[in-house]
Chains A and B, each alone.
Chain A
Amino acid sequence: MPDARDVIFRTLADPTRRALFERLCREGETTVGALTARAGISQPAVSKHLRVLKQAGLVHDRHEGRQTHYSAQAGALAPLIDWTTEMTGFWQGRFDHLEDLLNRMDQ
Chain B
Amino acid sequence: MTNTATEARSVVVERELPHPPDKIWRALTQPHLIEEWLMKTDFQPVVDHRFNLRGDWGTVDCQVMALEPNKTLSYSWVAMGLDSVVTWTLTPTRTGTHLRMEQSGFRTDQQQAYQGAKYGWQKFFTGLERVVGGLS
Interface residues of A (CB under 8 A from B): 2, 5-7, 9-10, 12-16, 18-19, 21-26, 72, 74-75, 77-78, 80-81, 83-84, 87-88, 91-92, 94-95, 97-102, 105-106
Q: Nearest 3 pairs between A and B by C-beta?
A: A25-B127, A97-B37, A9-B81
B128 touches A98 (CB 8 A): no
Contacting pair A101 B33 (CB below 8 A) = yes
For B13, B26, B111, B120, the residue with the greatest tally of chain A CB atoms inside 10 Å of its CB is: B13
Report the minimum CB–CB distance from B129 to chain A (whole Å).
Answer: 9
Is the Cβ of B36 less than 8 Å from the Cβ of A97?
yes
Q: Say how far A15's CB is from chain B's closest CB, in angstroms.
A: 4
Interface size of B by Cβ–Cβ distance < 8 Å?
Answer: 41
List 10 A-B pairs, Cβ < 8 Å.
Answer: A15-B110, A15-B111, A23-B127, A25-B127, A88-B13, A95-B15, A97-B36, A101-B33, A102-B27, A105-B26
Task: For residue B105, give the distance in angstroms from its CB to the closest CB of chain A.
Answer: 7
Is the Cβ of A101 less than 8 Å from the Cβ of B131? no
